[in-house]
Amino acid sequence: MAVTAVRRPPARSPGSALPPPPAQQLPPRASSWGRQATAWVATGVAGFGAAPLCDHPGLAVPVLGAGVLAGTAHGVCGVRTRTRNQLADRLVEALSPALGLRVPDRRAVRLYCWRRGWPGVPRRVELHYAPGIDDTDPLWVPAVVAAVGRRLLADYEVRAHDRRRCRISLRWVPPGPEAEPPPAAQVRAERTIGELLGPTAAVTGVRWEHGELAAVDVRHEAATKLSAAGYRHRVERVVSTMLPGRWRAQWDLEGDTVRFELRPTLPQQVPHPPPVVTAENRWNVPLAVDEDGETVTWHLRGTGPHLLVIGKTGQGKTVLMNGVVMELAFRGWPVWICDPKRIEFLGTRGWPNVQVVATTVPDQVVVIYQAWAEMERRYARIESGAASEDDFEPLILVLDEYRDFYAIVAEWYAGIKVTGMPTRCPVLEKLGSLVRKGRSARVHVILGLQRPDADVLGGEMRDNFGTRISLGPLSPQGAMMMWESPHLGVALPRGIAGRATAVSDDARPLEVQAYWTPDPRRAAAARHPADLALLERLKPAAARHPRLRVRLDEELLTTPDAKGRSQEWAAVAGGQLVPAAEQQADSATADTGPLPRLVLAGEPAAAPTTEPAAVPVGAGDEDDEELDVDEQICVDELAPGDLVCVEERPPTWALVESVEPDVTDEDLVCIDWRGDDDAAGSLVVHEDAMLTVRRWPTESAPTSHPFGPGR
């Protein structure tokens, strides 16, 4: 059986709608302008010689001049005609593949109404293409028009397109008044965007602010290529790398437009605004503001009934949680707090509608059990038909430093567990049940921890926290567990407390600045007027819910069972929350009442907190202690989240935000970085350059699953 070889057509170059030009060329045109010019000159010379013989010697010079002038004019016109014909032939050769012609044909391209000049510009161009061409392709006609403009060195627009006759008529566009050349920044932006979006990209407008390029509007016809979110993200990254500052893109894929604009600068501190509660926003708790000044909220009745707050020490996690607690209390909802560190929420004791602040392990277990029991009671009422979900007001359970809680509960339970009891403390199962089922019963959980590792926060439990916010920069492994992406949130400034990554209302992760709320205990001690005034605006006018205390069964605590075993777990599991007035203060361990407004004797007064303290860059940073020692690596091993030295003297460290090849030189690499003072910049180095970095420990490498075990 014979095999027929099929020759494939040559591949098109990336970003071009037209195939490469054909190899064959048109034969040269026959021309007689040289012979005709010579004949005119010869006629003049003959007339010069014949005039005296005809008894007209005065006509010799005029006849000679007329012949030479006619010959010269005919020669010049012939040269111009030849130049125009050559220009037309080059245009035919260039357009033949796009017009579907196997062999270049001069009849396919007609040039009419040439303007005066050398060699002139045709005012009208008619193109005839093969019927097999897909003339519905939105990229084909603009590419043909662009090819005509390149060959004729003029601008053209489509005058008519007759698909029945397979004919396109183009009209010459006269040049406008001579404009000043655009600034270098605009030229660089147009070149970069054109290389990324292809030849159909056209800048339709620019905006300048304070002498700097601030926005670029672009129209394109590359919607198919841009439909992939990964490619749009790469385009945004490259533009941000190639142009000064940090840029973002606003895509309109239906309208084939995009707007590149400088990212607004986030403030380094946003004081908690006074609550304004209406029927529309009652269930939306404000958390932060984004770079456009829009409020990022926690929707209790939306898809995120529980809130997960991530942040290392000093990044503002407790400040944010304190502000959320005060917002919830202002709405008149009861708030129960478990504080494993014992001092983070001291200032909320005595705050209206904050019913209990539990600090010891038994008290925290009782609070969680009672929250679970309240959830089950509400489910029972809904099941019996005595109530519906909307009849219950929200109950908020706050649990900070969940990793510490997990560890101390395990240690405490191991000391009181007796034979026959479960291996794992049952309170952890109750907490998981609250997260899974609390939404319908209007029981909401706020969980705070430094990193959502799978060994303490399982995948199922973590997935039920639809609303998440991570404060400060994350390691690539932490970002993978939090956002399922190793790049989100890894390049936040380390020196700005409250800078975070959150999810907007349309489910887009974005950089935000969390609200700053003063600690009532420290504000009372420092007596800072601005802080006290802010707290006064956040404080509810009246308490709708009484303060509660934990009551344990004292008899079970001190009396062993029949086998002589401790009954401490039974006393704790059977503990209750009772109004504070029903129990003496000296026997209460969960809440000792409101703290005095003055500092204790001998204790130095805390300095007023008005601005977040900037974290110094260099040795001694708290975050740096979690990183490995300095090392020299090649730039191709650099990854987002690495701490790189961008200046040797003085040493200046910054977090790597992205690493992209330079679009102007394939041997160079552009490194986008963020500094601790929210400064941003780009570092262009050779692909073989060595850089000094500090990297995250290798033992923190994630598993293949995005929510796999951490370190």
Which residue reads 């510009």 in tokens? 121
40 vs 158, which has greater pLDDT?
Answer: 158
Q: Where do you find CATH 3.30.980 in the chain?
A: 184-262
Angle at 684 between CA 497 and CA 667, to 5 degrees: 140
| Residue % of the chain over a pLDDT of 90 | 23
Q: How far is CA 199 from CA 15, 21, 142, in A?
A: 7, 17, 9
pLDDT of 680 strictly over 80? no
Asked if residue 503 lies in contact with residue 509, where contact means CB atoms within 8 angstroms, the answer is: yes
Asked if residue 338 lies in contact with residue 364, where contact means CB atoms within 8 angstroms, the answer is: yes
Which of 175-184, 575-584, 682-691 has the largest mean confidence? 682-691
| Number of neighbours of residue 244 by Cβ within 10 angstroms | 14
The reported pLDDT for the residue numbered 365 is 93
| pLDDT digits 0-9 by tens, 279-318 | 888 899 999 999 888 899 999 887 788 999 998 888 889 9
The reported pLDDT for the residue numbered 72 is 65
Tokens standing for residue 696: 């995250």
The reported pLDDT for the residue numbered 321 is 94
| Number of neighbours of residue 118 by Cβ within 10 angstroms | 9
pLDDT of 139 strictly over 90? no
pLDDT of 56 strictly over 80? no
Distant-in-sequence, close-in-space partners of 603: CB < 8 Å, separation ≥ 6 = none
State whether residue 396 is helix, strand or coil.
strand
Q: What is the mean pLDDT of residues 131-158?
A: 87
Which residue reads 């033992």 in tokens? 699
Q: How far apart are CA 270 and CA 292, in angstroms?
A: 13
Q: Where do you find CATH 3.40.50.300 in the chain?
A: 274-587
Asked if residue 691 lies in contact with residue 710, where contact means CB atoms within 8 angstroms, the answer is: no
pLDDT of 704 strictly over 80? no
Q: How far apart are CA 689 and CA 636, in angstroms?
A: 9
Listed residue (483, 309, 314) closest to 399, CA to CA: 309
153 φψ region: left (φ > 0), alpha (ψ -120 to 50), beta (else): left
Distant-in-sequence, close-in-space partners of 97: CB < 8 Å, separation ≥ 6 = 18, 19, 20, 21, 22
Which ranges of 153-246 would DSSP assign to H, the alpha helix?
Answer: 184-197, 223-226, 229-242
Q: How far apart are CA 537 and CA 655, in angstroms?
A: 38
Q: Which CATH architecture has domain 184-262?
A: 2-Layer Sandwich (3.30)
Region 274-587: CATH code: 3.40.50.300
The reported pLDDT for the residue numbered 660 is 76
Tokens standing for residue 90: 């080059």
The reported pLDDT for the residue numbered 567 is 78
Asked if residue 412 lies in contact with residue 405, where contact means CB atoms within 8 angstroms, the answer is: no
- What are the b/e assignments for 345-372, b being 16+ CB within 10 Å? bbbbbbbbbbbbbbbbbbbbbbbbbbbb
CA atoms within 13 A on the CB side of 653: 24
Distant-in-sequence, close-in-space partners of 690: CB < 8 Å, separation ≥ 6 = 632, 633, 634, 635
**CATH class as words, domain 628-695:** mainly beta
User: Residue 666 carries which side chain, given as an amino acid letter?
Assistant: E
| pLDDT digits 0-9 by tens, 586-596 | 444 445 443 33
Asked if residue 99 lies in contact with residue 107, where contact means CB atoms within 8 angstroms, the answer is: no
Let me know how long the chain is. Answer: 711
| Number of neighbours of residue 560 by Cβ within 10 angstroms | 12
Q: How far apart are CA 502 and CA 289, in angstroms?
A: 10
Q: How confident is the model at residue 129 (pLDDT cuts 50, 70, 90)?
A: very high
pLDDT of 197 strictly over 60? yes
Which secondary-structure segment (H or E) carries 225?
Answer: helix 223-226
The reported pLDDT for the residue numbered 126 is 92
Q: How confident is the model at residue 423 (pLDDT cuts 50, 70, 90)?
A: confident
| pLDDT digits 0-9 by tens, 476-526 | 888 888 887 777 888 888 888 899 998 877 677 888 999 999 999 888 888
